[in-house]
Structure 1
């Protein structure tokens, strides 16, 4: 680059180039050693870059923070500059942002709420409190950018962890910052006091993965992104109008709404669903509070059985798909041989080979997807303690809101069945399956009956 600049670019644009230390003056002409000197200078810069990179690697892998400025919500400990402590005022804002997300608000809505409530933006807060920052002072101190809220909601540092090597550069010449794959991040857990509980952080990430836009009426439904049709797997949409009363609002299968021949309505009124879910959560809290040890054992056993069953099905599908891919290789080879020998016309060969190759491509994609799912599922473990921690927050649940719902519930499935009695008129009923965070689907009513029976049997045996 230096050779190109001094010998081609500078003369072309009439630049008078002088290097005092090296005795170079472009007007008098370049020395024959200039090109060699430029090469050595570049080698020196590259070597220096390697040494600096090695120092940063050593520092980052030892658990030290690589960033010189702590994230919003933390500040440096005056007694130990390498240690972060919680900035109470900013941490309260971070917790509020997570709480608003739990309530169903998106990043844009949260940014608007913060601005309306006159909350200083992170940069403005730094200037107001004499904290270090690399950004310029904003003209509007209360203006929050949506990307700032997104960055806060996704930041692992708020769990009390140190996260290093999130970014990198292509070379010492490039100024462009590249984001590394999360698998390449180096994470040191519990290096500072957490601002956000792990259960809350995980729930927010799930909300972000299934994020939805607000309705035309300007709000986000409580069950938005949580409700699914048990038969087709489609999302359930909230149907309402300005003239509807609250008890008239209902959820409908999205597949049915698009094409009535593909699925049935699966409709359920919103107030009925809220009442059922609230009653179920109360049963869960009551059971876990009374029979915590039984719950831990039952949840762990049930999760293990369900996971093993689902895992076995996926592995079987994976094996069958791989076998079919191998068969297709043989079929395509035979088609080619038949075409060469004249047994199969060119037109027929092109059509058949295209169909088989398309099937093989689809199967290859399916195999890759199944491998990833199997790998992830083998890592998953039931986290009963996280669920118990959530239960202990709500000993007396009077009403349901979006925050409570998302803290407990992962998904809700609505199925449509008919009464089995042939002597009576067929009645369409709804079956509701609630999949909880951390433990999956769990029948608390049945578990309570079994625990009560076991307790009664134990007392009878003692007597």
Structure 2
């Protein structure tokens, strides 16, 4: 027989469950150092499978003769749907890639936690009403109180730390990217512990922030055009070289 709550616990129940969840998550050994703290929280929004973390170090590029160029590729750190990753190259894909960079997710988490915490601290009554009226989850009052207490536990949301991720984030669902408009957009749903997925009011962007956003949009568009033209040029050069090689071979046979 098991008798609960017969003596004071060393750690509270919520902390115990957080630790158990971390221990249950399998972390593959990686050469790049510590495991990504988002692993085990990232899920494909379409098939529901967990997402795999992929990390590669940057390496020095070489020219066509194999000589170092002094230019380096960027290190990669991203997530893809595990169903897609397992199926690729072996049998028919059951899902799509759902590729997303780790830094993008971390930035979104920090922004979400920052504005949610500010909203809770400045408009606690409105937050309580919003949660209780949510059609997504029927939250118990005790859970909402736990979330509010967790928010007040932290005084600084300027940097996303591993403890913050484990304490605040329940799961992250990543949708496939949409490129139908020419701009790559991707929906990511963040589910917070105790309160689930909520939309809190976001502050309006200042004219300076809007201008910066537009500048970045134009830069992305320019980069896409540049990369497309570069790829087309390289493909044309390869086709030309292959044609010349084939012509030289034919001439040598005559």
**What is the alpha-carbon distance in structure 1 between the residues aligned to residue 101 and residue 25 of structure 2?**
23
**8 Å contact from structure 1 (residues 296, 384) kept in 2:** yes
**8 Å contact from structure 1 (residues 410, 435) kept in 2:** yes
**8 Å contact from structure 1 (residues 228, 414) kept in 2:** yes
**What is the alpha-carbon distance in structure 1 between the residues aligned to residue 38 and residue 74 of structure 2?**
15
* Runs (5+) with no aligned partner, structure 1: 1-164, 166-184, 309-379, 450-463
The alpha-carbon distance between structure 1 residues 395 and 410, as it changes in their structure 2 partners (threshold 3 A), is same
The alpha-carbon distance between structure 1 residues 211 and 246, as it changes in their structure 2 partners (threshold 3 A), is farther
Q: In the alignment, which residue of structure 2 is the partner of 1:257?
A: 85
Q: In the alignment, which residue of structure 1 is the partner of 2:20?
A: 205
Larger radius of gyration: 1
**What is the alpha-carbon distance in structure 2 between the residues aligned to residue 252 and residue 417 of structure 1?**
12
**8 Å contact from structure 2 (residues 53, 79) kept in 1:** yes
Aligned partner (choices 136, 139, 150) of residue 306 of structure 1: 136
1:44-63 to 2 correspondence within 5 Å?
A: none
Cα deviation, 1:360-419, whole Å, max 9, x if unaligned, reads xxxxxxxxxxxxxxxxxxxx8460111111111212222112211010001000102426
**What is the alpha-carbon distance in structure 1 between the residues aligned to residue 20 and residue 149 of structure 2?**
18
**8 Å contact from structure 1 (residues 417, 430) kept in 2:** yes
Aligned partner (choices 136, 151, 168) of residue 391 of structure 1: 151
When normalised by structure 2's length, the TM-score is 0.64
Q: In the alignment, which residue of structure 1 is the partner of 2:189?
A: 433
Q: In the alignment, which residue of structure 2 is the partner of 1:416?
A: 176
Cα deviation, 1:306-327, whole Å, max 9, x if unaligned, reads 347xxxxxxxxxxxxxxxxxxx
**Does 382-391 or 235-244 show the bigger shift?**
235-244
Does residue 444 (structure 1) correspond to residue 176 (structure 2)? The answer is: no
**8 Å contact from structure 2 (residues 176, 186) kept in 1:** yes
**8 Å contact from structure 2 (residues 57, 74) kept in 1:** no
The alpha-carbon distance between structure 1 residues 211 and 419, as it changes in their structure 2 partners (threshold 3 A), is closer
**8 Å contact from structure 2 (residues 172, 189) kept in 1:** yes
Does residue 293 (structure 1) correspond to residue 125 (structure 2)? The answer is: yes
**8 Å contact from structure 1 (residues 239, 249) kept in 2:** yes
Instruction: Give 3-state SS (helix, strand or coil) of 1:443's partner.
Output: coil
Instruction: Give 3-state SS (helix, strand or coil) of 2:185's partner.
Output: strand
* Runs (5+) with no aligned partner, structure 2: 60-72, 205-254
**What is the alpha-carbon distance in structure 1 between the residues aligned to residue 167 and residue 200 of structure 2?**
17
Q: Which has the higher helix share?
A: 1
**What is the alpha-carbon distance in structure 2 between the residues aligned to residue 445 and residue 216 of structure 1?**
39
Shift of 1:442: 1.0
**What is the alpha-carbon distance in structure 2 between the residues aligned to residue 307 and residue 271 of structure 1?**
29
**What is the alpha-carbon distance in structure 2 between the residues aligned to residue 198 and residue 393 of structure 1?**
17
The alpha-carbon distance between structure 1 residues 246 and 413, as it changes in their structure 2 partners (threshold 3 A), is farther
**What is the alpha-carbon distance in structure 2 between the residues aligned to residue 237 and residue 281 of structure 1?**
24
The alignment yields a C-alpha RMSD, in angstroms, of 2.6
The alpha-carbon distance between structure 1 residues 307 and 399, as it changes in their structure 2 partners (threshold 3 A), is closer
Cα deviation, 1:276-333, whole Å, max 9, x if unaligned, reads 111111011101110111112221221xx3347xxxxxxxxxxxxxxxxxxxxxxxxx
Shift of 1:272: 1.5
**What is the alpha-carbon distance in structure 2 between the residues aligned to residue 203 and residue 188 of structure 1?**
19
Does residue 405 (structure 1) correspond to residue 165 (structure 2)? The answer is: yes
**What is the alpha-carbon distance in structure 2 between the residues aligned to residue 234 and residue 272 of structure 1?**
20
Shift of 1:186: 2.3
Shift of 1:262: 1.8
The alpha-carbon distance between structure 1 residues 186 and 278, as it changes in their structure 2 partners (threshold 3 A), is same
